[in-house]
Chains A and B, each alone.
Chain A
Amino acid sequence: MNPGNPAEQRSLRVIGLAVLVFAVAATLVVAQARWASKSLRAAEPLAELSYYPSGTWLGQVAMGDATAWADLMWLRGVQYYGLHRELDNTFTHMAHVFEVITTLDPGFRSAYVFGGTSLCQEGRQFEAGVRLLEKGMRNNPTDWIYPFELGFVHYLGKRNLTRATFDFAQAARQPNAPDYCQRFAAWSGQRAGYTEVSVELWRQVAETTDNAILREKAIEHLRRLLAGTGEERRLEAWVGSLKPLAGAAKSARPASVGQGAS
């Protein structure tokens, strides 16, 4: 600009010094942030989830943005699930969070399905899971997915075939219900081979879900169910043929599935 000017030179020196300070400080910031994220796993990760106020109240406060809040909390909830699956397999706040999410957005299908089935299985909170699915059914009475999932958890979780038959049948009666609802109703009614029906249920999940975590879970179950039956190779080929899903959670993804999905 005006290089001959001594004032100019001095202000360039000041800027140079500031850039230097910035470089050093920014390096420290990044180093410390990394260190913090490694060494400071908070004692109770995502503990703030337990502070989420009741969904009804929040819904009123959030006014038009209730579903947006539900989305944000859903992200948080899924993360909470992933973290605790890795850490300790206890899901203390999960029921509450999904209750809040589904109150904010009563039509949040994935929240009911993911929350309900996860609570029933890994969460070992069967009652809470069923309550969540039943809430979904109440809020969306013509959606087949809720009775279907209820049948699913009763069949797999409690081996309550009578209840499962009832639920599958109810799912089959809903408009747009896929054919397999009727099929599962029949199978569980006839007390067909438990393993075969389980495999079939999980296969259904893996093929129809758009939730990467759910699919990976289903594939894990299938691997366990089919281990030693000579079907493994066919299973892996089938896994490889599945259409990849976006956003597969790394924490819940075994290496082989990762290859199949990418």
Chain B
Amino acid sequence: MNPKQSMSSTAPNPPDRRPGSDRSAVRVEGLGKDFRHPWTRRIKTAVHEVSFDVPEGGVFGLLGPNGAGKTTTLRVLLGLLPATRGRAFLLGRPAGPPESRQDVGFLPENPYFYDHLTALEFLEFSGELAGMSRAAARAQAHELIERVGLAHAARTRMRKYSKGMLQRAGLAHALMGRPRLLFLDEPMSGLDPIGRREVVDLIRELKAQGTTVVFSSHILHDVEVLCDRVAILRAGRLLKLGTLDALLEGGGAGAEIVVRSRGVFALPPEFLGVEIENVAGRVRLVLDDAARASALVAWLAGRGHEVISLTPERRSLEDLFMDMFQGAHDVGGDPERAADAPSTDWRAEA
């Protein structure tokens, strides 16, 4: 599959494309967004200046606490808000005009849809908006309703939907028209653990099909499980950008091993520094260095201990987060000053 080729036949590439951008599904160049209070005319900057690339076919995570500017960035990319500074391209087309949203799907944060429409009608509607014929939209609506597990409520008016059901309907909406680029704003919110699991599977499946997925989250686990690349935002500025591995490198990535206890055991000296903790008939071993984990597991197995779980790097992104945001309180949360701290070389890697 080479979407670039099919695209260039329908829409001309912008003249000033730089080398390397051919492979990006999303390109953001110095994008910024100010809001002006309607009466006081005071300017509030939601996004200062953000630049990043999302390569075609990847899963990209926009990460950051509430108010970091994730949602604003997404809305600017989708043309819901005009950019104050900079520019962006979706699948090679300048973001903003309607054409830029061809082949693009979007799941809004906390989606709320039309009360009196059924999910089926809503999806048909969405498909037609995406340019599908009515018949094609109907067929795909049935299919996607099945896919997101709403078949039982397909003909129920959405007024009666729970939050989780709305979230599922929203996902199906985003997928209508089989977009090549998907924006998901907090896709896991409102879902129970089973639902989250299903969404994770769905995103993986989409990735396998070559769909580019950009999603925002403040939940680290989602990002860790899914993303190839991550952008970390705070107070409207990009703090870090890169592959997960690169971001976590040198961050003291550790591991946790849980063993069913067979009495007391002592670790050999090469495992010095491993914390041992007895919890309810189990032993929890915490390493500060994941590299030694497999050796420790082998050692344990050799001694006949039953290893229940090995969780590598489990808290590392969280740690990174904590490290980065620790300063936030000291500077009183002032976005102007707090965000000056990180240097640009953090996002220099690619």
Query: Is B82 in contact with chain A by the CB < 8 A criterion?
Result: yes
Residues of B within 8 A of A6 (CB): 14, 87, 94, 96-97
Residues of B within 8 A of A4 (CB): 87
In B107-166, which residues have CB < 8 Å from any A CB?
none
- CB-nearest residue of chain A relative to B76? A7
Asked whether, in the complex, the Cβ of A7 is within 8 Å of the Cβ of B87, the reply is yes
Residues of B within 8 A of A10 (CB): 96-97
In A105-154, which residues have CB < 8 Å from any B CB?
none
Asked whether, in the complex, the Cβ of B83 is within 8 Å of the Cβ of A5, the reply is yes
Asked whether, in the complex, the Cβ of A7 is within 8 Å of the Cβ of B96, the reply is yes
Return the CB mask of A1-24 against B: 1 if under 8 Å, else 0: 110111110110000000000000
- Which of B14, B85, B95, B100 meets A2, CB within 8 Å? B85
For the complex formed, measure the closest distance between the CB of A9 and the CB atoms of chain B, giving whole angstroms: 9
For the complex formed, measure the closest distance between the CB of B4 and the CB atoms of chain A, giving whole angstroms: 19
For the complex formed, measure the closest distance between the CB of B254 and the CB atoms of chain A, giving whole angstroms: 45
Asked whether, in the complex, the Cβ of A7 is within 8 Å of the Cβ of B82, the reply is yes
Return the CB mask of B93-104 against A: 1 if under 8 Å, else 0: 011110010000
Residues of B within 8 A of A8 (CB): 82-83, 96
Asked whether, in the complex, the Cβ of B87 is within 8 Å of the Cβ of A1, the reply is no
In A1-50, which residues have CB < 8 Å from any B CB?
1-2, 4-8, 10-11
B-side interface residues, number (CB < 8 Å): 13
Q: Which DSSP category, helix, strand, loop or mixed, fits chain B's interface?
A: loop
Query: Is B51 in contact with chain A by the CB < 8 A criterion?
Result: no
For the complex formed, measure the closest distance between the CB of B46 and the CB atoms of chain A, giving whole angstroms: 15
Asked whether, in the complex, the Cβ of B87 is within 8 Å of the Cβ of A5, the reply is yes
Max chain B CB contacts within 10 Å: which of A4, A7, A11? A7
Asked whether, in the complex, the Cβ of A7 is within 8 Å of the Cβ of B85, the reply is no
Residues of A within 8 A of B85 (CB): 2
Residues of B within 8 A of A1 (CB): 82, 84
For the complex formed, measure the closest distance between the CB of B47 and the CB atoms of chain A, giving whole angstroms: 13
Whole-angstrom CA separation of A146 from B95 in the bound complex: 78
Query: Is B79 in contact with chain A by the CB < 8 A criterion?
Result: yes
Residues of B within 8 A of A2 (CB): 82-87
Whole-angstrom CA separation of A10 from B83 in the bound complex: 13
Whole-angstrom CA separation of A11 from B94 in the bound complex: 12
Residues of A within 8 A of B96 (CB): 5-8, 10-11
Residues of B within 8 A of A11 (CB): 82, 96-97
Whole-angstrom CA separation of A10 from B95 in the bound complex: 11
Residues of A within 8 A of B79 (CB): 7
Whole-angstrom CA separation of A39 from B85 in the bound complex: 55
Whole-angstrom CA separation of A11 from B87 in the bound complex: 14
Residues of A within 8 A of B94 (CB): 5-7
Residues of A within 8 A of B100 (CB): 7
- CB-nearest residue of chain B relative to A5? B87
In B71-90, which residues have CB < 8 Å from any A CB?
79, 82-87
For the complex formed, measure the closest distance between the CB of B264 and the CB atoms of chain A, giving whole angstroms: 67
For the complex formed, measure the closest distance between the CB of A8 and the CB atoms of chain B, giving whole angstroms: 7
Residues of A within 8 A of B14 (CB): 6
5 pairs, A vs B, C-beta closer than 8 Å: A1-B82, A2-B82, A7-B82, A7-B83, A7-B96
For the complex of A and B, list the 6 residue pairs with the smallest distance between their C-beta atoms, beginning with the closest. A7-B96, A6-B94, A10-B97, A5-B87, A7-B94, A2-B83
* B interface residues (Cβ-Cβ under 8 A, vs A): 14, 79, 82-87, 94-97, 100
